[in-house]
A = this chain, B = another copy of it.
Amino acid sequence: MCYYLDGTVNLYMRPIEAITVTVDLEAMKIIHFQDRLVVPVPKAAGTDYRESKQNPPFGPELKGITVVQPDGPSFTIDGSRVRWANWDFHLTFDARVGPIVSLASIYDTEKQEFRRVMYRGFVSELFVPYMDLTEEWYYRTFFDAGEYGYGLCAVPLEPLRDCPANAVYMGAFVAAQNGMPIEMPNVFCIFERNAGDVMWRHTETMIPPDLITEVRPDMSLVVRMVSTVGNYDYINDWEFKQIGSIKVTVGLTGLLEVRGSKYTHKDQIDEEVYGTLLAENTLGAYHDHFITYHLDLDVDGESNSFVKSKLETVKVTDQTSPRKSYWKVVSETAKTESDAKIKLGPDSAELLVVNPNKRTNMGNFVGYRLIPGSVASPLMTNDDYPQIRAAFTEYNVWVTPYNKSEKWAGGVYTDQSRGDDTLATWTSRNRRIENKDIVLWYTLGFHHVPYQEDFPLMPTISTGFELRPANFFEYNPVLKVKGPNNVRWPNCSVSSSGLN
């Protein structure tokens, strides 16, 4: 694929369409060249995103703002082990998938011990298919982890911009092609977030003359990595909350893949162009992002079960109540892998991983709940070759018995995959998953219809999911978290200075 760099650093906005060059990377030789048709190259004007290249008028400037922790951070990092509030986990870097969170345990104040939540969690694969049939586009169905290395594409985080002032940075090492270690600086940042939200509160007005108000601000610990896979920048957050939740967020920003085109106005278009006209000669191609997480939960121990609690309408027909209906909870424990394949949709259900060997004092099985964010399912047909390779996106949820060879949802050798080594093929054995060491696989997604605001660089759009305790604790685990020592507005001598 060829791009024209003149007049901009935003090469992705200047595709030289319909030229294909095939290179033998072993021999470093061009072995095929094709110039199929002539398409205008989009202009450079308006594509550069660097501040130094912008002309006035500029947007309104905001006054400085920062976060202050006068006594330092509340977390400690000891090698790869991170401890913060009630959490204790390991954070390591993997060239294929980036951050791996492992051995995540939470301190139970009641039981006075750490209890395991997750053995290991990471992004297993990403699938980014473009919806364009033309010769230079039909094959653009990327697997960002297996083909490029989601960790290898990690970029150095920019202090004070990618992460706030109170962030701590960590580097990583990867092996070069010659086997020598290469340091990647600042691939992770870790910081405490104080976003101004409320962890819990209540005001009681029913006991006059008292007015009881009890509020706990929300604090969390964020682990961030940014992976820039060519044009796209993925912002990956693992966020640990005192209430026991692990919240995973992925933000998409960076540059679209655009197609060069003869069109300069929508009214000229009378054919399928597979995208939105974003600027003159520039079509933002329709595409999807699916991100599949490997979540090896060990809820209070290794042996877990997957429970789907469906909310079902019950009709009342016997005149015992003035009501004609209500809903009840019908829980089903998945016996085998096929029971746990779920396409999320309008059906109302709670999805839980429980430990069937441990119960609360009340007799409820201890568990964690998956709360999905934005849900998307593939719109390509199942017999389409890229979709066969990405069959792991067919369901939003899968559960497998732990198997150390089943880490990569798209197969070990994704580049060469024909779809015979994916999560979909593994689960076709329909193994037993009840009361076993199980892995929860969750796929989130976006269908991306570009809009002009995405040109020449996209504002971040985010989604994610939450793993939240569900009868894991005997009662609210943050009831006994004291209110913070409020740091009052400090009297500061501040150095305000621009970076540029």
Contact = CB atoms under 8 A, between A and B. Distances in A.
A196 B200 contact: no
A484 B215 CA distance: 32
Q: Per DSSP, are chain A's interface residues mostly helix, strand or loop, or mixed?
A: loop
A109 interface: yes
A271 B132 CA distance: 56
Contacts of A230: 206
Interface string A456-500: 111111100000111111111111111111111111111111111
B380 A326 contact: yes
Interface string A66-80: 111111111000000
B486 A457 contact: no
Contacts of A276: 364, 471
Residue of A210, A211, A325, A495 most packed against chain B (CB within 10 A): A325
A327 interface: yes
Contacts of A315: 381
A70 B447 contact: no
A490 B455 CA distance: 36
Given A66-B489, A458-B200, A452 B478 contact: no
Contacts of A40: none
B65 A192 contact: yes
Contact of A63 (B50, B73, B274): B73
A459 B279 contact: no
Nearest to A60: B85
A149 interface: no
Report, as a range, how many residues of chain A touch the other chain.
35 or more
Contacts of A417: none
A453 B383 contact: no
Nearest to A3: B206
Contacts of A322: 138-139, 385
Contact of A379 (B199, B313, B476, B491): B313
Nearest to A352: B451
A484 B486 CA distance: 27
B487 A54 contact: no
Q: Which of A67, A315, A495 has the most CB of B within 10 A?
A: A67
B453 A243 contact: yes
Interface in A1-46: 5, 9, 11, 46
A404 interface: no
A492 B492 CA distance: 4
Contact of A487 (B50, B65, B456, B462): B65
A321 B472 CA distance: 52
Nearest to A164: B196
A151 interface: no
B458 A472 contact: no
A363 interface: yes
A499 B236 CA distance: 36
A133 B327 contact: no
Contacts of A270: none
Nearest to A206: B11
A329 interface: yes
B205 A222 contact: no
A371 B59 CA distance: 25
A484 B62 contact: yes
A488 B64 CA distance: 9
A165 B489 contact: yes
A160 interface: yes
A176 to B, nearest CB: 15
A172 interface: no
Contact of A161 (B72, B216, B461, B471): B216
Interface in A122-165: 131-135, 138-139, 155-156, 158, 160-165
